[in-house]
Every structure is written in C-alpha cells, then in structure tokens.
Amino acid sequence: MKIKTKEDYIESLKKQHVVIYYNGEEVKDRTTFPAFVPHINSAAKTYELALMPEHEDLLTATSNITGKKISRFTHIHQSVDDLIKKVQMLRLIAHETASCFQRCVGFDALNALYMTTYEIDEKYGTKYFSRFSEYLKKIQDENFMLVGGMTDPKGDRSKRPSQQADPDLFTHVVEKRKDGVVIRGAKAHQTGAVNSHEIMIMPTQAMVEGDEAYAIVAAIPLDAKGITLIFGRQTNEERKLECGIDAGNCEFGVVGGEALVVLEDVFVPWERVFMCGEIDFTGLLVERFATLHRQNYGGCKGGVSDIIIGASALAAQYQGTLNASHIKDKLVEMMHLAETVYSGSVACSAMGSKTKSGAYYPDPLLANCTKHNITRNIYEISRLAHDIGGGIMATLPFDKDLRSPKIGKYVEKYMKGIEGVSTENRMKVLRLLENMTGGTALIESMHGAGSPQSQRVMYQRLGKLSEKMKMAKKIAKIKE
C-alpha cells in the first residue's frame, strides 16, 4: 500500500495485525485506542504536511535511487543542503505538533545503513548494499514508517553481550538457515513502535570477538510471528484517555509513545539482513546512527521549545505579568537557549561531508555538542517555564471541576486571571505547559539519542586534544 494521506496511513495500520499490550491487556485496534491516537496523529502530520505546496521543499525530496519524488523521511542525504533541510523540516513539524512525530529514528537508521553496508561490501565482497538498496526502494515507494531498533535492555552493563547470564538481554541470532536467520531478544524504548510498520534491528554497541551473533542488522515487519509490543507507561497517561483540558496536548500527546519490542525466535529472510557477524563495523554503524540522530535534536526540540516559550508568554499575559521586567528577561533567556540548540543542528549539518557511498554525514563532534546542549538547555527552558507559569501549574483543579454544575462557578471565579481572558483558556495554556515540561518529556530530552555521558565519550574521541596542546605550545613557543 502506498501511503500519501493521513487516511492512507491509518488504513495501513489497520491492515497490519500487530500484537500490542497496554497495561496488561492486548489492544485489538491500535488506530482507535485512546492512548495511541495522539501518537498516530503526530506521525500522520508528517504525511499531511508533505502534501502542502508551501512545505513540499522541506517534506519531500528526489530519490537518488529511483529519481522519484519521495518523503524526506525515506531519503538518503545527497548534500549539505539535504542535511540542513532535514533540521528545518523537524522544527517545522514540531511547531505543528508540539510533540515527537516519531519518524526520525527510522530515517537515521536508513542513512547510517546506506553508508555502512557500502563499506562492509567494499571490505568483504558481501551483497549487503545491493540488498539494502532494494529494501530502501520499497520503503520509499510505500512511504512506510520505520522504527530504528538500536537500544537493547543490556542487563549487566559491566559485561559484554556474549558474557551475559541471559543471552537474550542483547538481541542476537540464534539460528542461521539456508533461507534466513532466527532472531531472539528485545529492543527497549522504541519510539513510535505501536504505530509503525517495520523495525530495523541494529547492534546497540561496538562488538568484539565472541559477540558475532549480536552483530545483526535486519528489517522486520512488526506483524511478523514472534513479535510482541509492550507499551511504556508515561507521566499522566490516563489524561490521554479523557482528552480534555487536563491532557494538555490532547491531539498530539507528549513524546513518542515508546514500547518494548520483544522478539521471540523471529525468522528473517536473507534479503532483509544487512549485517550478520561483521563485528568490526558495529562501532562505526552505532556512531553514524548516533551522530545522525543527535543532529536532529536542535531541530525538533528547538521547535518544541518555541511552543513552550509561547505558552509561557501566554500564561504570563493571562495573569497580568507579561510586562514585568523579570518575565521579559526570562523569556529572552528561553529564546536564547532554544536558538542555541537549533544553531547547533544547523552547524553540524553545514559542516557535513560526503561518505564513500555518496551519502552526506553531519559533523560528528558538533552533532554530539548539539545533543549535549539539549540535555541541559531543555531543562533550563522548562525550569523558566515553571517559574513564569507559577505554582498553579502543579495544583490546578480538574477539567471536570470546571464543568461541574455544582462547583464549576468557584473554579471559574477563583482561577481567573486578567479581564477579557476566560478561565478555561488560562487553564488550557497552563495544562499545556505542565504537559510539555514535566516527567516523560524531560527524561526523553536527557536520554533520547544517548545519555549525556555518551556524548562526553565522543568529545574525548573527536575533540583532538593533542592537536590543541600542540597549538598551545606553538603560541607559547614551547620547544621540547
């Protein structure tokens, strides 16, 4: 099925029979289940915007494989301009959803694999790149939504995959057959899994001798036999079931609807396998994927921050404090922080370079710097939003209290701000702020695309400290 519209996307999800559990119960229809609908709406916005002439340049691209017009979310970057347009696109969609729209992980997996399979074939004479190119044609033609399955549960993090007491804590090959492989394990924190079509299994870290079974890359439909999805609990997720003011962002939710994807002896034919045992390329693949994914965060989180800033200003206006000098100063600081993370994404894109495959790749040091700034700046933006919004964000009465025929008049009277603004509108913007600046949303900003320590490790690897020391010696005229 070729997906163009929101309706096409929802219909394609209906046609797949994916095994999904929410709060201990199996979900029969993911397209109508209240906890999933906001995430579906957010992903659907990527299809809707691509059909708008004013957004065509950012949301679509020309395939380097077929020459056809495709979704940019299935495109292989062919220039620095492509890298920059990616970031601009992410900020645009964030302005429309104020949430995670979930297609970035699969997008980045496609690009990382395009580069890496080319180089595996170059060294070993394998056929991964041609296999992957054929798979990519299908994804581009159908416009499928793909989960990038990199993160494993990991178990005892002091031990390597092959040293674990339970080998399934890292996803691995348990059997090689003439027609394919059998995979067992799980992928954790999978953004958008419950409303995607396929998952791309990738190694979660660099592998060494003995870990060959864990060096596996494979594309698997999410309705394949042996796959079970377990939806992750989120902060205030019950409010999505109500879909009133208390939900904050009722239409699009909070973040990406993450799930645990369990793979219980899943068969994958060889034409869908793009790495199998090449341990020396696992580190490169992980680094490339991480760089491409960290490149994104100034775009999507910069866009989400714009909504937080606007909501903070509205909250201040509705309570009569917008013109106070300290409020203006805090809003300016929030704008500075948002533009700082956005400029990081643009910078690492502008400094991108061409790989052997022909695909373009962001500057890895600057991409890691971008994501590291996110882990700090988003928390500070949220802190300032809490400061401006006030304690009422934490103690606001229920939406049903406002609607109550008995006590609604009290909520209407005592929760009101300035004249000319309804209590309902004030409550709406305060709930939006609460929704966007607490719990799950903040944790995702910290750990999505890798925790802060993983970026600091990359600084040590890419920061060229010895070269900096040589430059200092030269300036100081030190001779040894």
Q: Mark whether 17 is an active-site residue.
A: no
Q: Which residues are within 8 A (CB) of 40 and not within 5 positions of it... i.e. 6 or more apart? A: 9, 10, 13, 30, 31, 195
* Separation of CA 225 from chain center: 26
Q: Which residues are within 8 A (CB) of 420 and not within 5 positions of it... i.e. 6 or more apart? A: none
Question: At what angle are helices 325-350 and 80-97 packed, to 10 degrees?
Answer: 150
Q: Mark whether 191 is an active-site residue.
A: yes
Q: Mark whether 172 is an active-site residue.
A: no
Choice among 39, 48, 104, 119 that is catalytic = 104
Block residue for tokens 């419950």: 194
Choice among 250, 276, 300, 369 that is catalytic = 300
Full DSSP string of 36-103:
THHHHHHHHHHHHHHTSGGGHHHHEEE-TTT--EEEGGGPPP-SHHHHHHHHHHHHHHHHHHSS--S-
H or E, element range at 317: helix 282-318
The closest alpha carbon to 37, from 259, 260, 251, 192, belongs to: 251
Q: Mark whether 243 is an active-site residue.
A: no
Question: What residue ranges in 65-203 does DSSP mark as E strands?
Answer: 69-71, 146-149, 172-176, 180-190, 198-201
Block residue for tokens 């029979």: 17
The closest alpha carbon to 10, from 200, 191, 190, 145, belongs to: 145
Choice among 46, 117, 191, 440 that is catalytic = 191
Choice among 287, 293, 360, 369 that is catalytic = 293
Q: Mark whether 318 is an active-site residue.
A: no
Full DSSP string of 358-409:
S-EE--HHHHHHHHHHHHHHHHHHHHHHHHHH-THHHHPPPHHHHH-TTTHH
Choice among 100, 250, 276, 348 that is catalytic = 100
Residue 165: CA atoms inside 13 Å, Cβ hemisphere, count?
Answer: 4
Count of C-beta atoms within a 10 Å radius of residue 432: 25
Could you tell me if 330 and 387 are in contact, meaning their C-beta atoms sit under 8 angstroms apart?
yes
Q: Mark whether 25 is an active-site residue.
A: no
Choice among 128, 297, 318, 342 that is catalytic = 297
Rounded-to-integer distance, Cα 148 and Cα 286, Å: 11
Q: Mark whether 293 is an active-site residue.
A: yes
Rounded-to-integer distance, Cα 39 and Cα 17, Å: 18
Q: Mark whether 32 is an active-site residue.
A: no
Choice among 258, 278, 287, 434 that is catalytic = 258
Question: At what angle are helices 37-50 and 80-97 packed, to 10 degrees?
Answer: 130
Active-site residue numbers? 100, 104, 191, 258, 293, 297, 300, 444
